[in-house]
């Protein structure tokens, strides 16, 4: 998921406007780059963003029917917990129907007598019954046969063709889409409550607030979650799956509110005297933000209910797609936005460090600038006979002007190499004739280039 700083800042500013309606309107939310803060505040922001994204995803999975994660954690032990989307499609020939189609009436007047004529065309129509049955389930270990069904739907729709060629395969088993939930379950405390994420700053593998084992594991999970939600959503919304006149499951909808709000709030002056940090991460408000996500989800579903038919238990009367498919698409789209936002927050924290480092150095240090510095450093440190020399040599015959030049260049400039010069250990020679053997030797130069 590629990071776009302009898109990210616009998205956060829009989220700030929405959050101020939910929380205290007097709060002064700002982007982290606009607030003076300590280095450890970046760690707090990374931890808060992970927690907020996890509880947002947990609520989405609850809407899909996965509301027993605590029980699954006790049952799973050391086994993996996998959520799976599976689907089966069938297309059966139903009937052949002949129908007469009349053309428009052509009126002809002969001796003031009105005569009408038309053409009757006999057409043959072939009707097929397309049925699909999908479900989202969860299972422990590696045995999907004992999966627990979370949600699903079975529906069918007629398809009309002009030939007896089947519009879709007779039976198609859609490859299942799996997602490992072990990471998500491991973050749930056994006593209940919000997930708890703490970055081990003393670990030698902890380099920055965004590059450490805890955040790396979270990012890997959200990348896999994004891919899972995208595949499920695309099944219902892609044209390839509905190229025979079947309606798509996407529709005009409002975006669901995301509880992940990566902002800082400047602390009050009197609070600064007692606190080391000058910022306040919104961890205490995350529950209120989660409630806003739940409210906006219900509002979204009420809008979809007006655009899609209700889900029927009888597949012969169920319409395709129904509100069931529309809800799954809406939830998957929100999961993708949450995963993308979390990935952007991690990249944004790293970008903040990058900008601060450049501000401290005064300019961006490129490899070329570093090489020029090393050349200057070598001239001050090494004796003349040991200093690097440019790799450029004239090609000439003895007592003649140069006929060319041998060089290795980088950016149109010969590279500098460290030279070791010594007498050649081995001589070279060849026979001129049967009585004369020519032997010659020269100095040997070994060059080393450090890029």
Between CA 430 and CA 413 the distance in angstroms is: 38
pLDDT (0 to 100) of residue 113 = 59
pLDDT (0 to 100) of residue 267 = 65
Most confident range (mean pLDDT) of 63-67, 311-315, 417-421 is 63-67
Residue 258 near residue 294 (C-beta atoms within 8 A): no
The owner of tokens 């038919």 is 309
Phi, psi of 66, deg, nearest 5: -90, 80
Between CA 74 and CA 393 the distance in angstroms is: 75
Between CA 214 and CA 205 the distance in angstroms is: 10
Sign of CA dihedral 375, 378, 383, 389: negative
Q: Which residue has the higher pLDDT, 101 or 301?
A: 301
Between CA 131 and CA 115 the distance in angstroms is: 49
User: Between helices 5-22 and 323-361, what is the axis angle to 10°?
Assistant: 120
pLDDT in tens, 104-135: 655 555 556 555 566 767 788 888 888 888 99
Q: Which residue has the higher pLDDT, 374 or 140?
A: 140
Between CA 256 and CA 299 the distance in angstroms is: 9
Cis peptide bond upstream of 321, omega within 30:
yes
- Is the pLDDT confidence value at 344 over 90? yes
Secondary structure (3-state) at 119: coil
What rounded mean pLDDT belongs to the chain?
Answer: 82
Q: What is the pTM of this model?
A: 0.75
Question: Binning pLDDT at 50, 70 and 90, where does residue 271 land?
Answer: very low
Q: β-strand 392-395 against 428-433: which pairing, if any?
A: unpaired
Secondary structure (3-state) at 118: coil
Secondary structure (3-state) at 228: helix
| Angle value at C-alpha 237, between 232 and 238, nearest 5 degrees | 95
Q: Which of 154-168, 234-248, 285-299, 330-344 has the lowest mean pLDDT?
A: 234-248
Q: β-strand 404-407 against 171-180: which pairing, if any?
A: unpaired
Residue 243 near residue 6 (C-beta atoms within 8 A): no
Measure Cα distances from 226 to 1, 153, 216 in Å. Answer: 9, 23, 15
Between CA 246 and CA 152 the distance in angstroms is: 19
Residue 196 near residue 115 (C-beta atoms within 8 A): no
Secondary structure (3-state) at 141: coil
Residue 342's nearest CA partner among 261, 405, 287 is 261
Q: What letter would DSSP give residue 255?
A: P
Percent of the residues in the chain that have a pLDDT greater than 70, as a whole number: 83
Between CA 19 and CA 16 the distance in angstroms is: 5
| Stretch (H or E) spanning 122 | strand 120-140
Residues 6+ apart with CB under 8 A from 450: 418
Q: Which two tokens stand for residue 33?
A: 């780059």
């Amino acid at each position: 998921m590629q990071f776009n700083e302009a898109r990210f800042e616009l998205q956060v500013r829009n989220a700030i406007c929405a959050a101020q309606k939910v929380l205290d309107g007097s709060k002064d939310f700002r982007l982290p780059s606009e607030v003076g803060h300590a280095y450890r505040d970046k760690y707090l922001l990374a931890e808060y963003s992970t927690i907020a994204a996890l509880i947002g995803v947990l609520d989405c999975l609850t809407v899909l029917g996965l509301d027993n994660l605590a029980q699954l954690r006790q049952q799973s032990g050391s086994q993996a917990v996998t959520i799976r989307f599976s689907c089966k499609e069938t297309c059966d020939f139903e009937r052949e129907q002949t129908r007469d189609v009349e053309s428009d009436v052509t009126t002809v007047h002969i001796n003031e007598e009105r005569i009408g004529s038309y053409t009757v065309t006999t057409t043959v129509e072939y009707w097929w019954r397309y049925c699909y049955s999908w479900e989202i389930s969860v299972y422990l270990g590696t045995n999907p046969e004992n999966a627990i069904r979370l949600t699903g739907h079975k529906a069918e729709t007629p398809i009309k063709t002009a030939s007896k060629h089947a519009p879709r395969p007779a039976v198609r088993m859609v490859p299942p889409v799996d997602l490992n939930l072990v990471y998500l379950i491991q973050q749930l405390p056994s006593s209940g409550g919000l997930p708890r994420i703490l970055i081990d700053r003393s670990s030698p593998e902890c380099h920055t607030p965004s590059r450490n084992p805890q955040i790396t594991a979270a990012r890997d999970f959200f990348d896999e979650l994004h891919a899972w939600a995208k595949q499920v959503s695309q099944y219902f919304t892609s044209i390839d799956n509905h190229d025979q006149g079947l309606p798509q499951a996407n529709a005009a909808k409002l975006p669901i509110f995301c509880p992940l709000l990566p902002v800082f709030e400047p602390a009050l002056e009197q609070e600064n005297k007692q606190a080391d940090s000058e910022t306040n991460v919104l961890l205490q408000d995350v529950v209120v933000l989660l409630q806003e996500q739940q409210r906006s989800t219900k509002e979204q579903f009420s809008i979809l209910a007006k655009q899609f038919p209700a889900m029927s238990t009888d597949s012969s009367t169920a319409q395709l797609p129904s509100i069931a498919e529309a809800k799954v698409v809406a939830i998957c789209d929100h999961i993708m936005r949450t995963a993308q936002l979390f990935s952007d927050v991690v990249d944004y924290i790293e970008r903040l460090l990058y900008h601060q480092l450049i501000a401290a150095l005064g300019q961006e240090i490129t490899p070329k600038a570093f090489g020029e510095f090393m050349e200057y450093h070598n001239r001050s440190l090494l004796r003349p006979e040991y200093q690097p020399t440019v790799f450029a040599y004239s090609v000439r015959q003895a007592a003649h002007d140069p006929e060319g030049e041998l060089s290795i260049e980088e950016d149109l400039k010969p590279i500098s190499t460290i030279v070791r010069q010594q007498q050649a250990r081995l001589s070279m020679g060849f026979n001129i004739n049967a009585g004369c053997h020519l032997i010659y030797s020269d100095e040997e130069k070994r060059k080393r280039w450090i890029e």
